[in-house]
Structure 1
Amino acid sequence: MYESKQISSLQNPLIKKIGVLQDKSRERKKSGLFVLEGLRELQLAVKGNYTLDTIVYQGDLISKDVLFDSLDASLPRPNIIAISKEIYAKLAYRKTTEGLLAVAHSKPHALNELVLPSKNPLVLIAEAPEKPGNIGALLRTADAAGLDAVIIANPKSDLYNPNIIRSSVGCVFTNNIAIGSTSEIISYIKDKNIHCYCAALTASKNYTEVDFTTPSAIVVGTEATGLSQEWLATSEQNIIIPMMGEIDSMNVSVSAAILIFEAKRQRGFSS
């Protein structure tokens, strides 16, 4: 049975530590810890085999029984600490969440340790994504489509930014994610004989005319600058989504979703 302690002071060192981990990427990287918020996010982190260090909860918003039922008894037991309404209001990003935050250990996401579960993989590669909301949306799409991996090239934001966790609704914990430089990732997909299809405006073919039924990587860049020349030189075929209006591009997460689900359609929505 889990037991819980109580904290009622905003000056408590643990409460200050949680605040720093939420705000400072440098501290997250240095400590190897991050903060997640919400019951669904906690459940997905447990499902993703993340090691929990500490959970703080507000008893008026969530019962100990519900909280304890969300944990895996086979995993190392986290510290469980009750906090006051004042502390929760100070720490919570979302005032409508279920009354809990957790400190968890991050994973390395090394490219050389990435294992693709399928012999015919479908992978999303995002080069230099900047906005946490876009990264979170990409991860939600990848989870919905059951992609074999999401690979982030030259990231501009650390993966455990609270805004990424929040916008991904915990899908950062459910995806098979790796991080590397563009050159490292190109070497990786070539070694795995994965075909590279880059979303680009030039020398492009309609995305519905491309065969995604073989091992494929769909590569997307930022809305502002697109993909680097290194990716365009690697691309087996640039792909484009026809536009019917006045603009020539869409939000990167929307574009990626269209491309990914076309690939899944061609594969009969199988893995």
Structure 2
Amino acid sequence: MKYLKKKTSFLDISIFAIMQNQIKSLQNDKIKFLTQLKEKSRVRRKEKLFIIEGKREIILAIQGGYEVTQLYYCPSIINVKEVLSIVTTFKNKVELFEITIEIYQKLAYRVTTEGIIALVVSKDTSIENFVLPSKNPLILIAEAPEKPGNIGALLRTADAAQLDAVLIADPKTDIYNPNIIRSSVGCIFTNNIATGSTFDIINFLKKQKIHIYGAALQASVDYHTQDYTQPTAIVVGTEATGLSNSFLENTTQNIKIPMSGIIDSMNVSVAAGILIFEAKRQRGFNN
């Protein structure tokens, strides 16, 4: 206990705290709980918690207003002082745990990663409580997306374009799926995201008097012929089935991307990027 009687810095005390919180067994209750959060959306929804892997993703979550309650780090991958430099950015107290490489590999998704995992409190993303940050919004809507990789790519595109919101209609998985966090490289935390049924999201758009442009071949015109400088939502569906009839019956106009190849479709995130950046071009890229 002499260590505590010395004049110590915050860094020294924090390192001492970490040394007292070592987990070496895969059978530890905390590790079992983290594994469930990683693997089961049902548990994430019930507990209103999820895990984040990686320094950049954790820092982006903090900047996005998320609350981290616990940090787990593997000293054979990341230095203690580097962990503490991240902790100093937190606004709340956080529990710190040192874990073994075996435990880390159990919890981590990526082969090459940064040795740190956070336990984080979920946010309420329901469309009922969503407030648009702009009076003339540009919004991306993804209806019934199935592949986490596509959702992640859409979120990266939305971040690059600095969209006002990303709405996910009839989601097939919760947005805190580790594969979505990974594929979005943390852009899940840099976007304003809301989720809800197709019915509720259409009602939201109508109440906000937002023009709806659906990416569809039916009764469509070339995408670059439309005016996106007004309140605008661009809606994309799945690559397999496209948009539902509910959206098709409520669009202001369906739009298409002219293609010269043999196939008549492209990856949903690529298509969304083309449409979004045409809207950004019309608005001026700084708007």
Question: Which residue of structure 2 lines up, in the alignment, with residue 114 of structure 1?
Answer: 130
Q: Which residue number in structure 2 is paired with residue 99 of structure 1?
A: 115
2:59 paired with 1:43 = yes
Query: Which of structures 1 and 2 has the bigger CA Rg?
Result: 2
Please give the residue correspondences for 1:7-18 in structure 2 after superposition, counting only pairs within 5 Å: 7-18=23-34
- Name structure 1 gaps, 5 residues minimum: none
Cα distance, 1:270 vs structure 2: 2.5
Q: Distance in 2 between matches of 1:62 and 1:178?
A: 34
- 26, 29, 40: which one pairs with 1:24? 40
* Aligned with 2:95 (options 79, 85, 88): 79
Please report how far the alpha carbon of residue 84 of structure 1 lies from its aligned counterpart in structure 2 after TM superposition. 1.1
TM-score relative to the length of structure 1: 0.97
User: Aligned to 1:107, what secondary structure does the other structure show?
Assistant: coil
Distance in 1 (CA, whole Å) between partners of 2:179 and 2:29 is 23
Q: Structure 1 residues 72, 226: CA separation in 2 closer, same or farther (over 3 Å shift)?
A: farther
Q: Is the 8 A contact 1:43 1:71 kept in 2?
A: no
SS at match of 1:155: coil
8 Å Cα contact 2:69-2:95 kept in structure 1: yes
- TM-score relative to the length of structure 2: 0.92
Q: Is the alpha carbon distance of 1:252 and 1:259 closer, same or farther for their aligned partners in structure 2, counting shifts above 3 Å?
A: same
Could you list the per-position Cα deviations for residues 207-231 of structure 1 after superposition, in whole angstroms to 9, with x for gaps in the alignment?
A: 1111111110000000111101111
Cα displacement (A) at 1:72: 5.1
- CA-to-partner distance for each residue in 1:81-126, whole Å, 9 max, x for gaps? 0111121122211121110111111111021222222221000011
Q: Is the 8 A contact 1:50 1:106 kept in 2?
A: yes
Partner of 1:151: 167
Greater percentage in helix:
2
Q: What one-letter code is carried by the residue in structure 2 that aligns with 1:221?
A: G
Identity of aligned residues (%): 58
Conserved? CA contact 1:205–1:238, under 8 Å: yes
1:7-50 superposed Cα distances (whole Å, 9 cap, x missing partner) = 11111111111111101111111111111101111111111111
Q: What are the residue-to-residue correspondences of 1:95-244 with 2, within 5 Å? A: 95-244=111-260
Deviation track 1:150-192 (CA, whole Å, cap 9, x = no partner) reads 0010000111111001000111111100011111111111111
In the TM superposition, what is the alpha-carbon distance from 1:65 to its structure 2 partner? 2.0
| In 2: Cα distance, 1:132 partner to 1:74 partner | 28
- Contact 1:40 / 1:170 at 8 angstroms: preserved in 2? yes
Which amino acid in structure 2 is aligned with residue 147 of structure 1? L
Match of 1:102, SS? strand
Cα deviation, residue 235, structure 1: 0.7
User: RMSD of aligned C-alpha atoms?
Assistant: 1.2
